[in-house]
C-alpha cells in the first residue's frame, strides 16, 4: 500500500464545503463579471463550471449538484424559461438565479414563475450579488446539510525553475495522504510535462487523448486516461501532458475548462501545474483555482517576477483571498528578511518550504514524493503542514504535543 494509513485525522474545519458552488449557464462570464461575483459574496464563491450549451447544462447540474445555477438569459425568452423550469424540476436542491440585462417586470415575473429563486440584473452590482448569494448561503445553513465540493489548487510561478512541478507533486501526495481523499494532478506544461518523472509514472494516455476524443468524453472515458500512482487506487492520479512534440497544438481553453470541471466532480482535490507563461490556457487554469499558490524563491529576479504576477492578478480582478504566496527553497540569509519580502510584495507569505536539495533530488530520482520516500524529513513535514492548511485537516503530528508545536513555530513562520 503506497499511501500509509494515518493514525489519527482530526477534521478541524471544512473550508471546502463552506464555499457556495455555482454553475454558470448560457454563456461564459467575463473576467470582470467573475471578479465581481467572487468579491461580492462574504461566503467564498466557487464557480465550478461555465456551460454555454443549454442541453448539456441540465445533465451537468444534475451531476455536479451545485448550490446555485446562474442562468444568463439570452436569446429566446421562452426557451430560457423552459430551461429554468427543467433545472428546477430535475435539480431541486440547486437554487436557480436568473440574470439578464432586461430587467422589465415582465421578465422578472416570468423568471420567478419558472421557479427561479433570485434575479440578478446585468451588469452585476456587487451589492445586489452580495445580497443574493448571502441569502443562498443562509438557506444552505438552514437546509439539509453540507454539499460535497472539491477544491482546485493551482501552483504557479511566472519564472521557471522555482519548483512548481516539485511542489505540485509533493503537495498532491501530501493531501492524498492527509485527507485520505482523491487528488488528481493535471500537468498543463503541454510541451514538456515533467510530472510523470516526479511521480515515478509512465502514462499510457495524456491530455492529447482527451482532446482527440472530446466529442464522446464522459466521466468514465476521462477516468480511463488518468494514470494512478498506485494501480487500483484512486488516491493520487495524474492527467499527463502529451509526451510527443506537436500534440499540444489542438488543446483549447474550452477543453481545459471542461477537463477541470469534470475532474472536480470526480475528485476531492484537483491540483494544477500550469506553465509559466500567462497563455490563455494558464489564465484558464488560474481562473478555475480556488487556491492560487504563487511560488517564488529567495532571489531578486524571482521576487520581481512574483511582484509582477501579483500586479497582473490584481488587474485580472482576482480576489486576494485566493492568492497564497509560497516561498520555496528557503534558507535564512541576512540580506532577505521575510518581513522585507512581504513589504515588497504587499502581502503576507502564506507558507515557506525549506531548501533541501539532497532530499528533493533524491525524491525526483526515485520518482517518489517525499511524503512517501522520506516522510520524516523536514521537507515532507512542511508539505504536510501546507496540505493541512489548505485542506483544513489537522496533520497527525500537529496534535502530538504543544511543546512540539512551539518548536515547529520557530522554523515555520506562519
Ligand atoms: N524545496 C526545495 N529544495 C531543494 N530543491 C528544490 C526544492 N524545490 C524544488 N527544488 C529543485 O528545483 C529544481 C526545479 O524544480 P521544478 O522542476 O519543480 O521547477 P519548475 O518551476 O517546475 O521548473 P520548470 O521551469 O522546468 O517547469 C529541481 O531540481 C528540484 O529538485
Ligand atoms: Mg515544471
DSSP string, 150-187: -EEEEEE-SSTTSSHHHHHHHHHHHHHHHH---EEEEE
Q: Does residue 5 lie in a domain region? A: no
DSSP 373-394: H-TTSHHHHHHHHHHHHHHTEE
202 shares a domain with 296: yes
125 shares a domain with 210: no
Work out the pLDDT band at 180, boundaries 50, 70, 90: confident
Q: What pLDDT does residue 311 have?
A: 95
Q: Does residue 4 lie in a domain region? A: no
Q: Does residue 181 lie in a domain region? A: yes
Q: Is it the case that residue 366 has pLDDT exceeding 60?
A: yes
Using the mean position of ligand 1's atoms as its centre, give its distance from the Cα of residue 175 in Å. 19
CATH code, domain carrying 278: 3.40.50.300
Q: Which of 142, 176, 205 is the last residue of a domain?
A: 142
Q: What pLDDT does residue 44 have?
A: 73
| CA-nearest residue, atom 7 of ligand 1 | 329
Q: Is it the case that residue 127 has pLDDT exceeding 50?
A: yes
Q: Among the atoms of ligand 1, which is closest to the Cα of residue 354?
A: 1
Q: Which of 142, 173, 191 is the last residue of a domain?
A: 142
Q: Does residue 91 lie in a domain region? A: yes
**CA–CA gap between residue 329 and residue 322 (Å, rounded):** 22
Number of other CB atoms surrounding residue 319 within 10 Å: 16
DSSP 6-45: PS--EE---HHHHSEEEEEESSPPPHHHHHHHHHH-SS-E
CA proximity to 199, closest of 212, 187, 211: 187
221 shares a domain with 93: no
Using the mean position of ligand 1's atoms as its centre, give its distance from the Cα of residue 155 in Å. 12
**Cell representation of residue 381:** 513535514
**CA–CA gap between residue 34 and residue 144 (Å, rounded):** 28
Q: Ligand 1 test: best mutation among 174, 192, 360, most atoms within 8 Å of CB? A: 360
Q: What pLDDT does residue 406 have?
A: 43
Q: Are 288 and 282 in contact (CB under 8 A)?
A: no
| CA-nearest residue, atom 12 of ligand 1 | 163
350 shares a domain with 248: yes
Q: Evaluate: CB of 163 within 6 angstroms of ligand 1.
A: yes
DSSP 279: -
Q: Does residue 282 lie in a domain region? A: yes
Q: What pLDDT does residue 150 have?
A: 81
Place of cell 448569494: 133
191 shares a domain with 314: yes
395 shares a domain with 360: yes
194 shares a domain with 172: yes
Between CA 113 and CA 86, with CA 117 as vertex, the angle to 5 degrees is: 60
138 shares a domain with 163: no
Q: What pLDDT does residue 18 have?
A: 55
**CA–CA gap between residue 27 and residue 265 (Å, rounded):** 20
The residue among 315 and 12 whose pLDDT is bigger is 315
What are 238-296's pLDDT values in tens digits? 999 998 877 777 899 889 988 998 898 788 899 999 999 999 999 999 988 999 999 99
Q: Does residue 230 lie in a domain region? A: yes
Mean pLDDT of 162-187: 93
Q: What pLDDT does residue 204 have?
A: 95
Q: Provide the residue range defining the domain that includes 182.
A: 151-411
Q: What pLDDT does residue 137 have?
A: 81
Instruction: Pick left, alpha or beta for residue 21 (phi over 0 → left; psi -120 to 50 → alpha; otherwise beta).
Output: beta
168 shares a domain with 97: no
273 shares a domain with 229: yes
The residue among 59 and 387 whose pLDDT is bigger is 387
Q: What pLDDT does residue 397 have?
A: 59
Mean pLDDT of the chain: 85
What are 193-241's pLDDT values in tens digits? 999 999 999 999 999 999 999 988 888 899 999 999 887 677 899 999 9
46 shares a domain with 20: yes
Most confident of the following: 141-145, 352-356, 409-413: 352-356
Q: Is it the case that residue 411 has pLDDT exceeding 80?
A: no
Mean pLDDT of 8-23: 50
Work out the pLDDT band at 11, boundaries 50, 70, 90: very low
| CA-nearest residue, atom 23 of ligand 1 | 161
**CA–CA gap between residue 278 and residue 284 (Å, rounded):** 10
Using the mean position of ligand 1's atoms as its centre, give its distance from the Cα of residue 406 in Å. 29
DSSP 147: P
116 shares a domain with 157: no
Burial status of residue 244 (CB atoms within 10 A of its CB: 0-12, 13-18, 19 or more): exposed
Work out the pLDDT band at 140, boundaries 50, 70, 90: low
What are 45-86's pLDDT values in tens digits? 778 888 887 777 888 888 778 889 999 998 899 999 999 999
Q: Is it the case that residue 148 has pLDDT exceeding 90?
A: no
Structural domain count of the chain = 2
CA proximity to 121, closest of 99, 104, 96, 95: 99
Q: Ligand 1 test: best mutation among 155, 156, 165, most atoms within 8 Å of CB? A: 165
Using the mean position of ligand 1's atoms as its centre, give its distance from the Cα of residue 153 in Å. 18
Q: Which of 97, 113, 142 is the last residue of a domain?
A: 142
Amino acid at each position: 500500500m503506497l499511501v500509509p494509513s494515518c493514525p489519527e485525522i482530526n477534521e478541524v474545519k471544512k473550508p471546502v464545503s463552506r464555499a457556495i458552488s455555482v454553475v454558470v449557464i448560457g454563456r461564459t462570464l467575463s473576467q470582470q463579471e467573475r471578479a465581481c461575483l467572487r468579491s461580492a459574496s462574504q461566503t467564498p464563491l466557487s464557480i465550478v463550471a461555465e456551460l454555454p450549451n443549454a442541453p448539456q447544462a441540465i445533465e451537468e447540474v444534475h451531476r455536479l449538484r451545485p448550490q446555485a445555477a446562474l442562468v444568463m438569459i439570452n436569446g429566446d425568452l421562452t426557451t430560457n424559461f423552459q430551461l429554468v423550469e427543467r433545472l428546477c424540476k430535475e435539480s431541486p436542491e440547486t437554487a436557480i438565479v436568473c440574470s439578464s440585462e432586461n430587467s422589465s417586470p415582465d421578465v422578472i415575473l416570468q423568471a420567478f414563475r419558472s421557479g427561479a429563486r433570485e434575479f440578478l440584473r446585468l451588469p452585476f452590482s456587487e451589492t445586489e450579488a452580495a445580497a443574493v448569494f448571502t441569502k443562498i448561503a443562509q438557506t444552505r445553513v438552514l437546509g439539509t446539510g453540507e454539499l460535497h465540493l472539491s477544491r482546485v489548487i493551482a501552483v504557479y510561478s511566472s519564472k521557471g525553475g522555482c519548483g512548481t512541478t516539485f511542489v505540485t507533486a509533493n503537495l498532491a501526495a501530501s493531501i492524498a495522504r492527509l485527507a485520505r481523499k482523491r487528488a488528481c494532478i493535471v500537468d498543463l506544461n503541454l510541451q514538456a510535462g515533467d510530472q510523470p518523472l516526479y511521480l515515478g509514472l509512465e502514462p499510457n494516455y495524456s491530455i492529447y487523448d482527451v482532446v482527440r476524443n472530446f466529442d464522446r468524453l464522459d466521466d468514465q472515458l476521462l477516468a480511463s486516461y488518468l494514470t494512478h500512482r498506485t494501480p487500483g487506487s484512486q488516491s493520487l492520479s495524474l492527467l499527463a501532458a502529451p509526451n510527443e512534440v506537436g500534440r499540444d497544438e489542438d488543446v483549447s481553453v474550452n477543453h481545459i475548462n471542461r477537463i477541470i470541471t469534470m475532474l472536480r466532480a470526480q475528485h476531492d482535490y484537483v491540483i494544477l501545474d500550469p506553465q509559466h507563461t500567462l497563455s490563455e490556457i494558464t489564465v484558464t487554469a488560474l481562473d478555475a483555482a480556488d487556491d492560487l499558490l504563487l511560488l517564488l524563491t529567495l532571489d531578486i529576479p524571482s521576487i520581481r517576477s512574483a511582484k509582477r504576477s501579483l500586479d497582473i492578478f490584481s488587474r485580472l480582478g482576482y480576489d486576494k483571498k485566493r492568492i497564497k504566496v509560497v516561498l520555496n527553497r528557503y534558507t535564512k540569509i541576512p540580506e532577505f528578511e521575510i518581513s522585507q519580502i512581504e513589504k515588497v510584495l504587499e502581502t503576507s507569505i502564506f507558507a515557506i518550504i525549506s531548501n533541501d536539495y539532497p532530499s528533493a533530488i533524491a525524491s525526483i530520482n526515485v520518482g517518489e514524493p517525499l511524503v512517501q520516500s522520506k516522510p520524516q524529513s523536514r521537507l515532507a513535514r512542511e508539505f504536510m503542514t501546507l496540505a493541512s492548511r489548505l485542506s483544513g485537516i489537522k496533520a497527525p503530528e500537529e496534535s502530538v504535543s504543544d511543546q512540539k508545536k512551539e518548536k515547529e513555530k520557530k522554523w515555520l513562520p506562519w
